[in-house]
Amino acid sequence: MPENLTHLANKYGSDKGTKVGNRHNYTAFYSAFFEQWATDTFTMLEIGLQRGDTATYRDPGRPVDDVPSVRLWLDYFPQAQCWGFDLSDFSNIAIPRFHFRRGDLSNPADLAQLATDMPPARFIIDDGSHASYHQQSALLHLFTAVEPGGLYFIEDLDWQPGYESELPKCRKTRDVFGDFITSGDLDIPFASPSQCRSVEGSINNIFFLRANSDAPELGRIKMVCIQKRR
């Protein structure tokens, strides 16, 4: 049996667990999907490699010293290759089976190059800037890189950075997928109709993780998992 994901997140200092930072406990959600693949050989990608506030994310020269989530995944999946994508430079962090690509989520060419360089991914996790434009642009460029039957996760849909208003105007990502459930249409106005049709035609299923508390935002979507057709 694979090691407990929450234990590993806490061990390596990832806020996907229950003890660090915002203590999202996303590992409980991930476990439902990932345990079946614990001993498989595959490629995965994580966008956004180290916690930080809005200001530090926008600074490509910010100091970086670790990749907590990468360590979590490499421990849990001992046969997997983990790719990482970030605006800042993590190339000095040398870990077996970790492959880093530096790029900007605002730059479609960087995303297209990543999709070209990387082998097909069993799953992709977007834990990057959390800006809706970045999340949707990444999905449009990278969903093609997910292998048939694979998964694409977008975290923290209940929070967007203040500088989101400075990016190209778009809908909140949580609203895009909330509406998709009922309409079957991927409504991303800044994308071309052909881009939207290509992605929505490849979607097999959608899974949501919703807020679970007595706060007013009870039921708000915190994370989406998009399953690709086989």
CATH code of 170's domain? 3.40.50.150
**Residue 130 designated active-site:** yes
Into how many domains does the chain fold? Answer: 1
Residue 189 within any structural domain of the chain: yes
* pLDDT higher than 70, residue 197: yes
Residue 203 within any structural domain of the chain: yes
Residue 7 within any structural domain of the chain: no
pLDDT given for residue 22 in this prediction = 84
Residue 99 within any structural domain of the chain: yes
Residue 12 within any structural domain of the chain: no
Q: What is the mean pLDDT of the chain?
A: 92
pLDDT given for residue 2 in this prediction = 74
Q: What percent of the chain is modeled with pLDDT above 70? A: 93
* pLDDT higher than 70, residue 214: no
Q: What pLDDT band is residue 89 in, cutting at 50, 70 and 90?
A: very high
pTM of the model: 0.94
pLDDT given for residue 56 in this prediction = 54
Residue 221 within any structural domain of the chain: yes
Mean pLDDT of 71-94: 96
User: Tokens in use for 202?
Assistant: 């490849």
Q: What pLDDT band is residue 64 in, cutting at 50, 70 and 90?
A: confident
* pLDDT higher than 90, residue 41: yes
Residue 8 within any structural domain of the chain: no
Residue 62 within any structural domain of the chain: no
The single residue of 24, 130, 134, 141 carrying the catalytic annotation is: 130
Enclosing domain of residue 167? 38-48+74-228
